[in-house]
Structures are given as structure tokens and as C-alpha cells.
């Protein structure tokens, strides 16, 4: 998709779709809309004062062959109430416009770039580009009868700030593409998106952006003592992989490690999950998909910070060789773990990656995982739960959510949560004994393996997908927390 700007008058632009974003409950039209209203003999004011268009966020109203305009169609799209506006409303508006354009087979659309308080020209461009890219995403590669339709090839913005809007638009196209990459990996069936497949994706990223890539197999993991990870993989005929991607730009002064849980299918192991919803467990690698997509973005954006991506990848299946509830395994850190529930496997994968991260002497470590139903129950799909050992780093994450459309909410990680994870027969156990606070005790378990650096854990069990159209995203995976992390890695100093 191309991103362009123009300074031409909106009423004179020849375009397949002229998009005019509007706020709801406004007594007067913005300056940019008044000229369009005058050219259409008051059509805009008539529509907004009626009951057909309330300008709620993402709401649309189409006028075909509008009189007085050179555009073939005029699309009014809502931004919601001005006092509740944020940049995500722009993304949602652009997403709605792009979906409509795609449905109608249009190849390009032109946005009227409103001057909005608190929205810089660069942010305007970025939000509109991201929205258009995620709004046109569809997963149909396994449909044999899929219809070939014209792709939306260009988004244009009418603005006097061409340079800044273009800069933001270029970044938004990359971010949107990375988000869609994560969405596709999560949607891919587990017989395709295996640990080996994730490794292939990592190698492609490394080749494209001249990164280092190393993929550890079972023998290498055994040599390193990754008994916790290997215990998860024991029941599956599909070999596990431990994927390492290194972005090492010259002159980098900070090192960040990102870790994504790559559980490509989770049957629960011997602690077998119920059949209802089991097909969705192909998405238990959403953290790993996000980590790969973030590394893609790191390369595409040519970030100057050293970034290491770690993806422990495995299946969790029942089988004659599977780990039994009550077994004790030894991790790379030397800590022993009593596995009381084999369905609490994600923390075992992350424990090994958190230990492996120590070799990089990182300034910060972030992990992402669809880890607990507890977090999903608490925050639903509306926010990512965050926990950590360093309050300053947590505040950086909170700051990085601004203008990205991705919410985070800090949940407690107290000494009691850590104590609840200590075992009577081993160093730790992988679930607490009816303690409750499942998201916090899971973070408490991880904290024992993240004691040598500043660390933030992100539980995306709820925020990794949406149950219906929400904030510009169609039902399904949304690529959390790709937008937030790319913003953090690009713009937020750690020291």
C-alpha cells in the first residue's frame, strides 16, 4: 500500500473515495468540512443533523456521485465525541474506511486531514496508515474458492504538512504490516505453524535485515539444561525449537531482550483441556508471533537499539512419554520445578528464555504470553496485564501505550505471590495451591528467573484477540503488543 499526501482542495480531488472524518455532537462543522459542505449545497450539514449518521467511532455514511465534488464517492466516518477522542479513533476511522473501500473494490482513497488538537501531523499520518493496513487484513489463504478483488493500493491525505504526515505514514505502514504478520501467524493452523515453521520465519527476518539467527534443537537444549522446556515437549512428536534473533546495530548503547511464548498448540498435556475451544489453542503462540513481528519491525524501522528476540517454541500434547502431574524437572537456571499441572506449561517455556536472556546483560527484558485465564477474566480483551520487578520500567511501558491504541494495566506482584509458588518437595511448583490470583502467581513464578535485570511480564491472554469488531480490528487476533513495543523500542529511552 502506498501512502501519499496532497495540498489540493478536497472538493476538486478526483478520487474513488473522499473520506471526511467528523466528531459526534458538534454544533458546527470543522473548517475542512465547511468547504465540502458548501460545494455539496449543504449535504454534510443535512446528514449530520439527521438520524442517519451520528458520527460514532467508526460509523460510516456513503454518498455515491456527490454533486459538487470531483470524487466518485464521499464517505463520512465518525470519530466519536471530541472529549473522548484519542489517536485510536483515527485508526478506527481509517480502518472502517479501508474495509468499505475493499468491499466495494476501490483501489485508493483520500482522507481529509483534520487539524485536531493534540494530534501532530506525524501521528495523524501514522494512525491513518495503520488503520488502513489492519482494516484491509483478511485471512483466506486456505479458501480454494476465494474471490480475487482489487486491493486498496493507496491512501492519500490532504494536508499542508506533507513531510511530517509522510514520515508518520511510512512508519504506520510498517507497524500495520507487522501487526498483520502476527495476526496471520496466530491464525495459521498448528499443522502449518509448527516450531520449525516459526524458526523458518525467524531465519527469513534475519536474512532480510542482516540479523543473526540461531535455532537450538532438542540436543542443544539438553546440553544447556533446559529441562523445563523439554518437559513440555515430551508428549509431542513435533520437535521443540528455541529461536534466537539478534539485531546488533553499530553504536547501540542499550540492549533489550524480548521474549515470546511460542506454544504452537496447547492440548494441556496429561492435564488435558476440554474439547470445547480446543481448536483455538493454536493461538497459544501469540506471544511468539508478536516477538517475531516486533523483530520484523525493528529491522524495517532500522532501530539503533540492540534488540534480542527469544522464542521458546513447542507443542504441549498428551502421550506415552508426556510429563506427568507431580513430576519434578530441572530448569536451565538450576531451579527444580514440581509440575502439578501440565497445562500450566507456558511459564516453563518462559523460565528458560528468561534465564537464557542473562547472557546478554540486558538493560531491560520484556516477555509476552497468553499465560493465564485469570488475566483474561480480569481484563477481557480490553487491556494487557503487566507485572514487573522495576517500577521505572513499568512506567515506561505505561507511557509507551500512549498513542498506540494498546492499553496496559498493572496488576500486583507481591512477595505473597512469590511465596505461593514454592514447593514442599522442589524449589518451585508451577501452580499455587488454591491461592487464587492466578495471573499474579504466574508472574511470581517467572520472577524467580528474572532477578538479574529489569523485567516486565505482559499477560496477553485476553488482549491477544477480540470477540467481535473492536477499535478497527475484525474478530480474531490483533497482534498485541506489537504497536506498543515498537513505539517503546523506537522512542522510549531506558536510562
**Active-site positions?**
273, 347
Helices 346-356 & 438-447 angle (0-180, nearest 10): 30
**Spatial CA neighbour of 325 closest among 417, 231, 262, 419:** 231
Nearest-angstrom CA–CA distance, 17 and 39: 16
**Spatial CA neighbour of 336 closest among 258, 411, 436, 425:** 425
Nearest-angstrom CA–CA distance, 447 and 469: 35
Q: Are strands 455-459 and 465-466 parallel, antiparallel or unpaired?
A: unpaired
**Spatial CA neighbour of 381 closest among 464, 458, 457, 443:** 464
Cell of 358: 542473562
From residue 270, how far is each of 153, 283, 442 by CA, in Å? 49, 19, 20
Nearest-angstrom CA–CA distance, 493 and 490: 9
DSSP 214-274: EEE-HHHHHHHT-HHHHHHHTT-SSPPEEEEEEE--TT---EEEEEE-EEEEE--TTSPPP
CA geometry: angle at 56 spanning 51 and 59, to 5°? Answer: 85
Please say whether the beta carbons of 494 and 488 come within 8 A: no
Residue 440, CB half-sphere, CA atoms under 13 Å: how many?
17
**Spatial CA neighbour of 120 closest among 175, 168, 58:** 168
Three-state DSSP state, 146? coil
Nearest-angstrom CA–CA distance, 199 and 221: 15
Nearest-angstrom CA–CA distance, 339 and 255: 33
* Helix H or strand E encompassing 465: strand 465-466
Residue 212: strand pairing partners: 246
Three-state DSSP state, 354? helix
Residue 6: strand pairing partners: 158
DSSP 405: T
Cell of 84: 473522548
Nearest-angstrom CA–CA distance, 265 and 316: 6
Amino acid at each position: 500500500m502506498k501512502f501519499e499526501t496532497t495540498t489540493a482542495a478536497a472538493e476538486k480531488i478526483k478520487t474513488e473515495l473522499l473520506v471526511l472524518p467528523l466528531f459526534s455532537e458538534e454544533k458546527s462543522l470543522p473548517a475542512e468540512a465547511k468547504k465540502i459542505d458548501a460545494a455539496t449545497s449543504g449535504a454534510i450539514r443535512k446528514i449530520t443533523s439527521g438520524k442517519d449518521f451520528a458520527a460514532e467511532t467508526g460509523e460510516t455514511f456513503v454518498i455515491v456521485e456527490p454533486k459538487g465534488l470531483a470524487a466518485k464517492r464521499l464517505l463520512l466516518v465518525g470519530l466519536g465525541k471530541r472529549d473522548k477522542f484519542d489517536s485510536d479513533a483515527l485508526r478506527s476511522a481509517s480502518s472502517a474506511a479501508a474495509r468499505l473501500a475493499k468491499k466495494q473494490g476501490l483501489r485508493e482513497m483520500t482522507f481529509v486531514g483534520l487539524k485536531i488538537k493534540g494530534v501532530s501531523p506525524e501521528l495523524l499520518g501514522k494512525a491513518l496508515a495503520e488503520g488502513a493496513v489492519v482494516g484491509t487484513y483478511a485471512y483466506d489463504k486456505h479458501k480454494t474458492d476465494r474471490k480475487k478483488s482489487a486491493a486498496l493500493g493507496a491512501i492519500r491525505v490532504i494536508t499542508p504538512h506533507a513531510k511530517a504526515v509522510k514520515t508518520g505514514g511510512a512508519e504506520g505502514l510498517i507497524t500495520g504490516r507487522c501487526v498483520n504478520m502476527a495476526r496471520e501467524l496466530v491464525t495459521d493452523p498448528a499443522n502449518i505453524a509448527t516450531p520449525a515453521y516459526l524458526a523458518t520465519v525467524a531465519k527469513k527476518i534475519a536474512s532480510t535485515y542482516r540479523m543473526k539467527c540461531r535455532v537450538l534443537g532438542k540436543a542443544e537444549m539438553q546440553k544447556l539444561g533446559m529441562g523445563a522446556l523439554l518437559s513440555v515437549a515430551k508428549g509431542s512428536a513435533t520437535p521443540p525449537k528455541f529461536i534466537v534473533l539478534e539485531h546488533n546495530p553499530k553504536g547501540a548503547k542499550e540492549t533489550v531482550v524480548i521474549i515470546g511464548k511460542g506454544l504452537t498448540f496447547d492440548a494441556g498435556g496429561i492435564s488435558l483441556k476440554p474439547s470445547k475451544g480446543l481448536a483455538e489453542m493454536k493461538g497459544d503462540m501469540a506471544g511468539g508471533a508478536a516477538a517475531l513481528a516486533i523483530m520484523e519491525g525493528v529491522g524495517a524501522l532500522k532501530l539503533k537499539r540492540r534488540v534480542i528476540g527469544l522464542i521458546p517454541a513447542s507443542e504441549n500434547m498428551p502421550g506415552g512419554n508426556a510429563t506427568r502431574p507431580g513430576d519434578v524437572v530441572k530448569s536451565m537456571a538450576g531451579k527444580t520445578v514440581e509440575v502439578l499441572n501440565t497445562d500450566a506449561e507456558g511459564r516453563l517455556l518462559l523460565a528458560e528464555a528468561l534465564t537464557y536472556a542473562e547472557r546478554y546483560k540486558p538493560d531491560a527484558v520484556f516477555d509476552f504470553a497468553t499465560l493465564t485465564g485469570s488475566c483474561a477474566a480480569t481484563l477481557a480483551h480490553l487491556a494487557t496485564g503487566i507485572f514487573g520487578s522495576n517500577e521505572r520500567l513499568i512506567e515506561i511501558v505505561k507511557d509507551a501505550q500512549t498513542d498506540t491504541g494498546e492499553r496496559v494495566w498493572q496488576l500486583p506482584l507481591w512477595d505473597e505471590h512469590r511465596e505461593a509458588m514454592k514447593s514442599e518437595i522442589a524449589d518451585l511448583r508451577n501452580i499455587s495451591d488454591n491461592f487464587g490470583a492466578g495471573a499474579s502467581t504466574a508472574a511470581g513464578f517467572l520472577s524467580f528467573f528474572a532477578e538479574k535485570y529489569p523485567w516486565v511480564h505482559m499477560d496477553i491472554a485476553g488482549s491477544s484477540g477480540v470477540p467481535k469488531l473492536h477499535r478497527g480490528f475484525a474478530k480474531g487476533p490483533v497482534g498485541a503488543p506489537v504497536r506498543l513495543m515498537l513505539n517503546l523500542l523506537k522512542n522510549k529511552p531506558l536510562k
